[in-house]
């Protein structure tokens, strides 16, 4: 599919139709309302990065291209995604976006509590505060969103340990 002149909405519609998917089935899988998906396909609204990622995962679309088309992230972040795509398999990127049904939570290391983690990682007070704030916000997310964040963290953890091996 050539994408030179396509808008994000047209690209998504073509992916969806090529996959023989209805808006209803895509809405159900992505947990994005039918009307919002319709507005995205009609280029009546610009989706946020999370929405683009969920659609890309469901339709097996080119995440980097879709994020660029949506113009919803700063250039520096898009560049980091591009760099990661060059060194990471597509399945790893999908896992990072929360599309790995084989995983359900963070690794359960023995003794992996916050005090133990703090001692092992030796974070600064600012970092500890930021982690605690992030965790307190994480528990307020919807279960599917929490799972996606957890899988992203797992992916980053695994990527780091694969590189150091």
Q: Give residue 20's pLDDT.
A: 95
Looking at residue 111, its pLDDT comes to 34
CB 155 within 8 A of CB 92: yes
- Mean pLDDT over 21-42 rounds to 94
Neighbours of 45 (CB within 10 A): 15
43 vs 109, residue with greater confidence: 43
**pLDDT tens digits, 150-165:** 888 888 878 877 777 6
- Among the residue ranges 26-40, 52-66, 135-149, the one predicted with the least confidence is 135-149
| Per-residue model confidence as pLDDT tens digits over 39-76 | 999 999 989 888 998 999 999 998 888 888 888 777 77
Query: Is the CB of residue 25 less than 8 Å from the CB of residue 17?
Result: no
Q: Domains in the chain and their CATH numbers?
A: 8-87 (1.10.260.40), 114-164 (no CATH)
């Amino acid at each position: 599919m050539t994408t030179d002149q396509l808008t994000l909405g047209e690209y998504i519609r073509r992916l969806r139709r090529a996959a023989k998917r209805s808006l209803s089935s895509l809405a159900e899988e992505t947990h994005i309302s039918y009307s919002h998906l319709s507005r995205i396909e009609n280029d009546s609204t610009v989706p946020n990065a999370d929405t683009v990622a969920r659609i890309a995962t469901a339709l097996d679309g080119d995440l980097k291209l879709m994020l660029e088309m949506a113009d919803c992230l700063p250039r520096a972040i898009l560049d980091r995604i591009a760099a990661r795509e060059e060194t990471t398999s597509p399945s790893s990127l999908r896992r990072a976006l929360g599309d790995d049904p084989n995983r359900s939570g963070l690794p359960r290391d023995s003794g992996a509590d916050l005090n133990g983690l703090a001692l092992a990682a030796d974070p600064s007070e600012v970092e500890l505060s930021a982690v605690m704030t992030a965790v307190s916000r994480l528990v307020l997310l919807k279960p599917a969103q929490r799972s996606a964040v957890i899988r992203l963290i797992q992916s980053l953890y695994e990527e780091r340990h694969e590189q150091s091996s």
